Amino acid sequence: MSAALPEAATAVRPGRLRRLAALLDPRAGPARWPILIALVTILAWVVVGATIDLWAPYDPVALAGRRLQPPNASHWLGTDALGRDVLVRTLYGVRFSLPIAAGVLVTAVAIGCVLGALAGFFGGLLDGVLMRLADVTLSFPAMLLAMAIAASLGPGLFNAGLAMVIVWWPIYARLMRAQVLSVRSLEHVDAAVAMGASSPRILVRHVLPLCWTPILVNATVDISQIILLVAGLSFIGLGARPPTPEWGQMIAEGATNFYNWWIAAGPGLAILALSLAFSFIGDGLRDLLDPRSR
Amino acid sequence: MRAGQMKAALVLGIAVSLAGLAVPTRAADTRPLVVARNMDLTSLDPARSFCDTCQIYLSAVYQTLVTLAADNRTLAPNLATSWEVSPDQTRFVFKLAPNAVFSDGAPVTSADVAWSLTRLKNMKSDASFLMEALTAVETPDDKTVVLRTAQPNSEFLNMLASSYAGIINRKVAEANGAVGGENASTADQADNWFFANSAGSGPYKLALYRNGDQLRLVSNDKFWGTAPKVAEIIIKQVPDAVAQLQMLQTGGADVAMQIDPDTAASIKDQNLVLDTVPSYNFIYLALGVGSKANTVPLTKPIREAIAAAIDYQGLIDFTVGGKGRPQPVAIPNGFPGTTDLPLPKQDLALAKAKLAEAGQPNGFTMKSAYPAVNSYGVDLSLMMQKLQQDLGRVGIKLELEPITFAVWRERVAKDGIPITASYYAPDYFGTVQYVQFFSMMSTSSWVKRSHADKVQGVVNEKEGELLKQALAATPTEAERIYREIALEMIGDKVIIPVVSPDLILASRKGVTGVRYSACCNLALSQVGRQ
């Protein structure tokens, strides 16, 4: 039986762990540093987001000092037009960007994978309808479609997240369908069919476990895009509402105070740091999991 | 270049000598003068347009019977050289300038005046309220116009100085689809024509308008008055203050009027002149007393509590860096009836007492949608966040929702908004427009917008009665009555003015004649170069 199973399903586990350890081994040279720095960065953001209430020196939505102060000893990233501390607001921002990005991703992946798996496994009319729906959604630029949806739902972080789920699910549906299609024709699936296993059992036990790798890689890379898109929607007023210290919203406030560069610099750097970190992780995971890229 | 100039001079010389002395002097400066501006144009038709940029354009291209002098108070002759008002202030007789001509050379006649003013009234557009009082127009001869109002109207002359009351060349406009009769609002087809042509008697005429790009004016070579100082003016669409300032710095623009104080404060440039002047513009809060979304009834003690919780000076500091003035009532400082009004001030103890009196000692929640715009240098979003902090101190929690202006208009009209903000700029020098717009007399615009007519005890008919008296009174008496109305409006506590932001007139060194006008925003014909 095991001879019929593809290499991916059997031989990888110990190999993967070894490769993961190798991937994170700083002794392996400068090529490993980005992913290590990325991991530390994300971990740091998570810790900041979880604990900031305990140690933040200022309230993110209240007056912290004279308005429009450039960076100085008591306000490391200066103050904004309402005298709020830019650094504190930037750090609070991760409480919005990260959970929303994760939430959008998990929802989009869940919806996309279920629909994609059904379409790929059962084919026929279901496949046709679902994939045309995905095609239509994918034929619009993501930002534009998200803007249109968010605008019609009304401004707000939840609506912005909902808009992004609508924009994002087809990507995973297509990916999952392609994976299911290729796995479905493998011999171990034929064997399961021959043994009389039911369709749901075959899908869940024999097909899906072989399909998650590209999804995971894609999701890690996408999370940085979603962070950018959330910020983008907030920047144009379709995401977070004031006075929420959301990064896109803060950059929009900084844009009207162009010459007081520090207002937009804090959230800008935060977006850069977090999305870059996820991109590095995504690249690393691909190296680890995708046999073709090795 | 020099040969070209000589040629131009020669051609000009020949033209002048051929036409004789009747030809007025041409504009001296041939380099175009560029005004960088975020244009809010909706129409270039005097009877249809209603915006700040419209005022600038209309006052350069069309002439009104009378205009506002440089002191922004007194009226000066324009198309009319003299006028008489009957003692009961219902009959207004104007003598037109005998030599006034339109840009096609046709004389300006009383028929043109009658047609233009009735067309404005009949168009039922935003600015039509200016001619609402007009009941009859007589034209005893070509150069005499008699305007009549049913009720005494001591402010009618001021309304005629509004740029929307500009006089149009009737023959030309009618040939291009304009209709002046009672069916004007439906039958008139000239809106598009006005985007590409003009038919006025002012110092400039329209050369080109491209939406989102530029508005180009050239001097009217048939202009019958003093020639403008520059031959060509380009108003360039530049959306934000930073870009406007950068254009000024690089020499791409000569004048900009929409630079906010924070941006201006961050720049030191010897080639720029930044002049800060008080303006008649103001930003106000409005309470939707009859709004559907109210969680508690906005009774008078509640409204007084809100007004007392606001840190007025703080708002001025935070929104315009202190470059603004507090304003007691929704009538601009300096307009008739605004002398010595009590200034609003923060009193948290009073606010809390009033909340307790209204049975809400712990405060309540209010939904606050507002247009997400930056008007006159004030970022409304920033202002509302500051307000949120202020009201939070007495327990009133604001839920902020920035929306587009179009959505805001619709919401205010339909269900109302519990607490919102907006802005206003004058159309002429006079108090009546503010009473009609902001008071709580039953016909006012904000009675409808605040839905005050749906609740008890907010509509204030006394203001309407006083207004009638003021319109029939002498100027001094009217001023006293306007002040009484202002006190009533302050007592209403429905419209709460927050700040009258100063205006920054920014220009390149050497540009002259840039001044703020209450009727016309910027008088282009007076702008020139040293």
pLDDT of res. A211: 86
Lowest mean pLDDT among B27-36, B68-77, B94-103, B171-180: B27-36
The CA distances from residue B267 to A82, B76, B501, in Å, are 20, 38, 19
pLDDT of res. B18: 42
H or E element that contains B47: none
* CB-based contact, A55 to chain B, within 8 Å: no
pLDDT in tens, A237-288: 888 888 999 999 999 988 888 888 999 999 999 999 999 999 998 888 877 7
Give the predicted TM-score (pTM) of the model: 0.85
Burial of B21 (0-12, 13-18, 19+ CB in 10 A): exposed
ipTM comes to 0.80
Residue A14's pLDDT band (cuts 50, 70, 90): low
**How far away is chain A from the Cα of B318, in angstroms, using its nearest Cα?**
6
* Mean pLDDT within A137-145: 90
Task: Residue B415: give its domain's CATH number.
Answer: 3.10.105.10
Task: Give me the total of CB pairs closer than 8 Å, taking one residue from chain A and one from chain B.
Answer: 56
pLDDT in tens, B8-50: 544 444 444 444 444 444 556 788 999 999 998 889 999 999 9
pLDDT of res. B504: 92
* CB-based contact, B268 to chain A, within 8 Å: no
Domain count, chain B: 2
Q: Are B517 and B68 in contact (CB under 8 A)?
A: yes
CB contact under 8 A, B379 and A256: yes
Nearest to B266 among A237, A256, A260 (CB): A260
CB contact under 8 A, B262 and A241: no
The CA distances from residue B196 to B4, B62, B180, B207, B219, in Å, are 29, 15, 20, 8, 16
φ, ψ (nearest 5 deg) of residue B140? -60, -35
Say what percent of chain B tops pLDDT 90: 84
Q: Give a yes or no: residue B32 inside a domain.
A: no
Annotated domain spans of chain A: 37-51+73-293
Give the domain-ending residue among B197, B230, B256: B197
* Mean pLDDT within A224-249: 90
Q: Give a yes or no: residue B39 inside a domain.
A: no
Give the domain-ending residue among B197, B227, B255: B197
pLDDT of res. A15: 66
* pLDDT at A32 > cutoff 80: no
- The tokens of A147 are what? 């803007």
Strand bridging mode B397-403 / B365-371: parallel
Nearest to A81 among B382, B384, B388 (CB): B382
Containing structural domain, residue B347: 282-501
* Mean pLDDT within A48-60: 94
Closest residue of B to A61, CA-based? B389
Give the separation between CA A20 and CA B288, rounded to whole angstroms: 61
Statement to judge: residues B299 and B398 lie in one domain: yes
Lowest mean pLDDT among A193-207, B81-95, B425-439: A193-207
* pLDDT at B6 > cutoff 70: no
* pLDDT at A33 > cutoff 70: yes
* pLDDT at B338 > cutoff 60: yes
Nearest to A62 among B381, B389, B403 (CB): B389
pLDDT of res. B375: 87
Among 2.170.120.20, 1.10.3720.10, 3.40.720.10, 1.10.3430.10, what is the CATH number of A37-51+73-293? 1.10.3720.10
Computed over every residue of chain A, the mean pLDDT equals 87
* pLDDT at A112 > cutoff 90: yes
* pLDDT at A3 > cutoff 50: no
**How far away is chain A from the Cα of B266, in angstroms, using its nearest Cα?**
6
* CB-based contact, A81 to chain B, within 8 Å: yes
Residue A94's pLDDT band (cuts 50, 70, 90): very high
| Interface-testing mutation among B318, B368, B370, with chain A (most A C-beta atoms within 10 A) | B318
Q: Give a yes or no: residue B30 inside a domain.
A: no
Q: Give a yes or no: residue B77 inside a domain.
A: yes
Closest residue of A to B382, CA-based? A82
Give the separation between CA B265 and CA A258, rounded to whole angstroms: 12
* pLDDT at A293 > cutoff 80: no
pLDDT of res. A4: 44
* Mean pLDDT within B305-317: 96
Q: Give a yes or no: residue B465 inside a domain.
A: yes
Report which of residues B183 and A210 the model is more confident about: B183
pLDDT in tens, B380-423: 999 999 999 999 999 999 999 988 888 899 999 999 999 999 99
Burial of B398 (0-12, 13-18, 19+ CB in 10 A): buried
* CB-based contact, A199 to chain B, within 8 Å: no
Q: Are B164 and B50 in contact (CB under 8 A)?
A: yes
User: CA quadruple B292, B369, B322, B500: dihedral positive or negative?
Assistant: negative
Q: Are A1 and A9 in contact (CB under 8 A)?
A: no
* pLDDT at B254 > cutoff 90: yes
* pLDDT at B362 > cutoff 90: yes
Q: Give a yes or no: residue B216 inside a domain.
A: no
Q: Give a yes or no: residue B29 inside a domain.
A: no
* CB-based contact, A236 to chain B, within 8 Å: no
pLDDT in tens, B257-303: 999 888 888 888 899 999 999 999 999 999 999 999 999 999 999 99
Strand bridging mode B33-37 / B255-256: parallel
Give the separation between CA B429 and CA B335, rounded to whole angstroms: 7
Residue A292's pLDDT band (cuts 50, 70, 90): low
CA B187 to chain centre: 27
Give the separation between CA B114 and CA B123, rounded to whole angstroms: 14
CB contact under 8 A, B382 and A253: yes
CB contact under 8 A, A242 and B317: no
* pLDDT at A7 > cutoff 60: no
Residue A11's pLDDT band (cuts 50, 70, 90): very low
**How far away is chain A from the Cα of B411, in angstroms, using its nearest Cα?**
13
* Mean pLDDT within A166-192: 91
* pLDDT at A148 > cutoff 80: yes
pLDDT of res. A27: 74
* Mean pLDDT within A205-231: 88
Statement to judge: residues B177 and B294 lie in one domain: no
Statement to judge: residues B497 and B392 lie in one domain: yes
Q: List the beta bridge partners of residue A192.
A: none
φ, ψ (nearest 5 deg) of residue B85? -120, 135
* Mean pLDDT within B519-524: 90
Give the separation between CA B315 and CA A86, rounded to whole angstroms: 20
Give the domain-ending residue among B149, B169, B197: B197
H or E element that contains B145: strand B144-149
Give the separation between CA B485 and CA B439, rounded to whole angstroms: 8
